[in-house]
Amino acid sequence: MSSEIENRLQERGATIDGVIAAMQQFSVETPSWGYGNSGTRFKVFQWPGAGSNLREKLADAAQVHKVTGICPGVAIHIPWDRENDWPAVKEYAGQLGLHIGAVNPNLFQDDAYRFGSLCHFDKQVRKQAIEHVIECIQIAQAVDSNVVSLWLADGTNYPGQDDLRRRRRRLLDSLQAIYAAMPAGMRLLIEYKFFEPAFYSTDLPDWGTSLLIAQKLGPQAEVLVDTGHHPQGTNIAQIVAQLLDEGRLGGFHFNDRRYADDDLIAGSQNPFELFCIFNEIAGAGAEGNTNAGRIAYMIDQSHNIEPKIEAMIQSVINIQTAYAKALLVDRAALLAAQEAGDVLGAYRALQAAYETDVRPLLSEVRARQGRDPDPIASFRASGYAGRVAGERTAVAESSGYPGA
């Protein structure tokens, strides 16, 4: 264990066990689609042994959980992961030490959705989209998941193409029908994205729109922040702070980016931003904010050139690292500096935590669970990647996501 960390904590009367306990509560859900082949619109490179059906993807996810110890949940995407027997899927996941997490409807790959899904001007198309989401609610119930996570590709490409206020009312109507079909205890997470695939207007472009709609729907609707879905320069940590204060931060889709929705390994491009996000959560949690304790942490990534399972493990490590650093912030010192107008002092309180080497702390958390301190090395040593590359048959995808 790092004496640097212990000393720093001791100085303010905190113990390492408190931090470790918080870290043991922390889990991150991985996405089934992150284990399959995917690519850019230019080319999909086949990865030897990449999972091509839900069972294979769950087996891969089990490897990530095995070495990290914090990834028992797996998000699914319908119809990419469609199965006939959901109780059997639930049982298979259970045998692997996993459970099915968020169920993601797909409202962007049916020919009917050219002009949108829940916002479409044609009532029949809206009905089809609503029924699909309701089917996902039923799947969630069958696998004992309490999260349905909604992302819309709806939008317009040209000014005047459709009436923006009418689209908004259609969206609300459709979501109200969906909300009414949710059982108690289930949460509807409403994801936003400022562009793509539509370019003039997107029906859920930003957190404010998602929040307004969630507030109109009711307490079971919350906002999902995908870290790749903002314009350049957006302060995501501030969005997180506002949602926490409103009690509507439903969850995250972690991934990193430089330009657009790049879906790169979380924390690989801007680890400080990830730290600032977790700093808001840890700060709110320390003050007893109840929302901070029920956030669905999920990864939403597509790995195009890198080994998929290792990329997922690395993402989990980077997320865990950011969270651990946020837990080390000296909140009393931070507050004192803030209220004294000590700009540098406050910044340095964050910097001190950010610059702490938390690798020994993460190793200790893993060691206490009987796991190898180095998840990537442990996965490599298992020989799993070579084994599945030899056993599994490749399924060629032409471009991007399945069905694209």
Binding site for ligand RM4 (CB under 6 A): 104, 151, 191, 193, 226, 253, 261, 300, 401
Q: Using an 8 Å Cβ cutoff, are 299 and 254 in contact?
A: yes
Neighbouring C-beta atoms of residue 145, cutoff 10 Å: 24
Tokens representing 68 are 């990290």
Cβ of residue 376: shortest distance to Mn ion, in angstroms? 24
Residue 29 binding: pick among ligand RM4, Mn ion, none (C-beta 5-8 Å cut-off by kind) = none
Q: Using an 8 Å Cβ cutoff, are 174 and 162 in contact?
A: no
Nearer to Mn ion, 227 or 356 (CB): 227
Neighbouring C-beta atoms of residue 273, cutoff 10 Å: 17
The 8-class DSSP code of residue 192 comes to -
Cα dihedral 304, 306, 307, 313 in deg (nearest 10): -100
Alpha-carbon distance 16 to 2, whole Å? 10
Give the amino acid at 83.
Answer: E
Nearer to Mn ion, 248 or 253 (CB): 253
Nearer to ligand RM4, 30 or 356 (CB): 30
Tokens representing 385 are 């990647």
- Partnered with residue 76 across adjacent β-strands are 103
The 8-class DSSP code of residue 108 comes to S
The maximal CA–CA distance of the chain, rounded, in angstroms, is: 65
Q: Using an 8 Å Cβ cutoff, are 328 and 8 in contact?
A: yes
Residue 60 binding: pick among Mn ion, ligand RM4, none (C-beta 5-8 Å cut-off by kind) = none
Nearer to ligand RM4, 261 or 397 (CB): 261
- Partnered with residue 77 across adjacent β-strands are 104
Residue number of the CB atom closest to ligand RM4: 151
Interacting residues toward Mn ion by CB under 5 A: 226, 253, 261, 300
Alpha-carbon distance 67 to 367, whole Å? 11
Residue found under tokens 């320390």: 286
Nearer to ligand RM4, 19 or 103 (CB): 103
Nearer to Mn ion, 87 or 403 (CB): 403
Residue 104 binding: pick among Mn ion, ligand RM4, none (C-beta 5-8 Å cut-off by kind) = ligand RM4
Cβ of residue 103: shortest distance to ligand RM4, in angstroms? 11
Cβ of residue 149: shortest distance to ligand RM4, in angstroms? 7
Cβ of residue 148: shortest distance to Mn ion, in angstroms? 14
Cβ of residue 351: shortest distance to ligand RM4, in angstroms? 31
Residue 330 binding: pick among ligand RM4, Mn ion, none (C-beta 5-8 Å cut-off by kind) = none
Nearer to ligand RM4, 261 or 364 (CB): 261
Cβ of residue 356: shortest distance to ligand RM4, in angstroms? 31
Cβ of residue 105: shortest distance to ligand RM4, in angstroms? 9
